[in-house]
Amino acid sequence: MRTLAIESVPSLTTDQMREVDRIMIEDLHIELIQMMENAGRGLADLAMRRFAPASVVVLAGPGGNGGGGLVAARHLANRGAVLSVVASSADHEMTPAAAHQLDILRRMGLKIADDPGPAELVVDALIGYSFRGDPVGRVAKLIEWANAANEPVLALDVPSGLDATSGRAATPSIAATATLTLALPKVGLLSAHEVGELYLADISVPPLVYERIGIPVPKLFTEDGLVELRRGPLP
């Protein structure tokens, strides 16, 4: 896996990431479910490379972030990990794309649990980059469970509860062992200790998208679909 200094990679605010998603979907017709598949496959790949877990519990929210976690659950199960999936919302409260991914897991016969249990890795896919404020209710309880689990936590895009632009950690907020962010790093991830190790995944954003929002981006994924981003000088 290629390693880059985090300072050498452009970062995005929440509003800029929203515009990236809008251009992808509305202008280029690269659908959300395609990006979700790429994100989830990358997350599963990093989980196996970095942690090699025999068992995984996936905490999935109702939106796109949760959908990516559910895709990762499918790929991890296909690679031999024992999976348990805990959704933070009822099926009817999920977005259509996330509900579709959960339905696939049910059809595969994967365990959909009411409450999380022991596993060698916890995947945090509860809250995406657009969240504001403090998590409440079941989401807050799942975050607290993950932080108390004494197992490594791999967060998708941003640790749940962390403001993607300001880096402010809500109460509660996931304290991740590692975070796999998507497309480009979010500004709030650059110095927040809740992020842990930081990795970047290719979700197939064409260079044209960044050109339209005025951000020059180097070729990041010429060797691999995953890149490790490190703070400070590289060895």
> What pLDDT shows up at residue 233?
65
Asked if the model's pLDDT at residue 103 lies above 80, the reply is: yes
Listed range (133-137, 174-178, 185-189) with the worst mean pLDDT: 133-137
> What pLDDT shows up at residue 133?
82
Nearest C-alpha neighbor of 153 from the set 143, 163, 167: 143
> pLDDT tens digit string along 17-42?
999 999 999 999 999 999 999 999 99
Pairing relationship of beta strands 153-156 and 121-125 according to DSSP bridges: parallel
> What confidence category does residue 235 fall into, taking pLDDT thresholds of 50, 70 and 90?
low
Distance CA 134, CA 160 (A): 10
Distance CA 195, CA 28 (A): 31
Model confidence, pTM:
0.95
* Averaged pLDDT score across all residues of the chain: 94
Residue 143 φ/ψ region, left for φ over 0, alpha for ψ in the -120 to 50 degree band, beta for the rest: alpha
- The share of the chain scoring above pLDDT 90, in percent, equals 89
Asked if the model's pLDDT at residue 232 lies above 80, the reply is: no
Asked if the model's pLDDT at residue 154 lies above 90, the reply is: yes
So where are the chain's domains? Answer: 2-230
> What is the topology classification, in CATH, of domain 2-230?
Rossmann fold (3.40.50)
Residue 176 φ/ψ region, left for φ over 0, alpha for ψ in the -120 to 50 degree band, beta for the rest: beta
> What confidence category does residue 102 fall into, taking pLDDT thresholds of 50, 70 and 90?
very high
> What confidence category does residue 231 fall into, taking pLDDT thresholds of 50, 70 and 90?
confident
What separation in angstroms does the CA of 151 have from each of 6, 76, 121, 125? Answer: 26, 17, 6, 16
Asked if the model's pLDDT at residue 121 lies above 90, the reply is: yes
Query: Contact, 47 vs 75, CB < 8 A?
Result: no
What separation in angstroms does the CA of 214 have from each of 61, 64, 136, 188, 220? Answer: 32, 25, 36, 20, 17
Token readout for 84 is 């348990």
Pairing relationship of beta strands 197-201 and 226-230 according to DSSP bridges: antiparallel
